[in-house]
Amino acid sequence: MTPVISKEEIEDRRIESIDMTVPSKPEYVGVIRLTVSGIANRMGFNVEEIEDIKVAVAEGCTNAIEHGLDDKFYINFNINNDSLDVVIKDKGKGCNIEEIKEPDLLNPKEGGLGLFIIKSLMDDVEFISKEGNGFQIKMIKYLGADI
């Protein structure tokens, strides 16, 4: 039997979302940082959490700009009552996720740290990529998880 969901419960689980199409230019990363900072602040994340979200989102945008092949990329902020999830998508050639190497932190090199940083700063991270078909990353931060 399908459970009956009350109107209050539907309201309680409400998701609000903001979608943006952003020019693939590094100067727009700052605009997205400000945007996500405003959203996270409004949701009640603390200063450290907001800083982590800004860094992770900026890394995701930088990848979309660097590895994407289009002149724009897409970002979607989902405001849930217990979490913020951010999806960043580009129309680049994507990559084989299995071939992405974990950084060797004992012999650090420049580059290759973005995805590692995102995974360290966010609570849940998912990549979807089909070679030749763009890259999508979803990163989730839960409210109150870092106390």
Ligand X SMILES: Nc1ncnc2c1ncn2[C@@H]1O[C@H](COP(=O)(O)OP(=O)(O)O)[C@@H](O)[C@H]1O
Residue 63 as a binder of Mg ion (CB under 5 A): the answer is yes
| CB-based contacts of 99, cutoff 8 Å, min separation 6 | none
The CA-atom distances, in angstroms, between 26 and each of 18, 33, 112 are 21, 12, 18
How many residues in the shown chain lie near Mg ion by CB under 5 A?
2
Q: Could you give the string, one character per residue 118-137, with x where binding to ligand X holds by CB under 6 A and - elsewhere?
A: -----------------x--
**3-class SS of residue 46:** coil
64 binds, among Mg ion, ligand X, none (CB under 5 to 8 A by kind): ligand X
Residue 64 as a binder of ligand X (CB under 6 A): the answer is yes
Q: For residues 85 and 77, give the distance between their C-alpha atoms in angstroms, rounded to a whole number.
A: 6
* Single residue of 55, 79, 95, 128 touching ligand X by CB under 6 A: 95
Tell me, what DSSP letter sits at residue 105? T
Binding site for ligand X (CB under 6 A): 63-64, 66-68, 90, 92, 94-95, 100, 111-116, 135
